[in-house]
């Protein structure tokens, strides 16, 4: 669970972050859980989040989008996906 918790500590330090790109499946915390932590923070809630998935899970994707994720992307990321990701910055 160090990855998501470490990310939250990093974000709390007010680094110049423009976009959060996270995997949905992480040890101890899902991308949705991380999204909820970010969205409830007054200092972080404005940051766009994109969640990566390894499989097409429509209900999970819908939940993330309804929870405030800007978009989702299927892994592996392709070069063609980069302009779409950069458009959120």
pLDDT of residue 23: 95
Does residue 6 have a pLDDT over 90?
Answer: no
Average pLDDT of the chain is 92
For residue 5, being part of any structural domain is answered with no
Does residue 69 have a pLDDT over 90?
Answer: yes
Taking only the tens place, the pLDDT of each residue in 23-54 is 999 888 999 999 999 999 998 999 999 999 99
CATH number at residue 76: 3.40.50.2300
pLDDT of residue 14: 80
How many domains, the chain? 1
Q: Which tokens is 48 given?
A: 């766009």
For residue 10, being part of any structural domain is answered with no
For residue 46, being part of any structural domain is answered with yes
For residue 61, being part of any structural domain is answered with yes
Q: How is 36-89 classified by DSSP, letter by letter?
A: HHHHT-TTTTTS-EEEEESS--HHHHHHHHHTT-SEEEESSP-GGGHHHHHTT-
**Which residues make beta-bridge pairs with 52?**
23, 73
For residue 11, being part of any structural domain is answered with no
Angle of helix 31-39 relative to helix 58-66, nearest 10 degrees? 10
Does residue 4 have a pLDDT over 60?
Answer: yes
Domain interval for residue 71: 16-86
Does residue 21 have a pLDDT over 80?
Answer: yes
For residue 21, being part of any structural domain is answered with yes
The CA distance from 65 to 51, in Å, is: 9
For residue 4, being part of any structural domain is answered with no
């Amino acid at each position: 669970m160090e990855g998501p918790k470490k990310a939250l500590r990093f974000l709390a330090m007010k680094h110049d972050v423009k976009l959060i790109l996270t995997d949905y499946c992480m040890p101890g915390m899902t991308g949705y859980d991380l999204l909820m932590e970010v969205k409830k923070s007054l200092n972080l809630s404005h940051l766009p989040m994109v969640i990566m998935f390894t499989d097409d899970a429509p209900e999970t994707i819908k939940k993330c989008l309804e929870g405030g994720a800007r978009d989702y992307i299927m892994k592996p990321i392709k070069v063609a996906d980069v302009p779409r990701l950069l458009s959120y910055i």
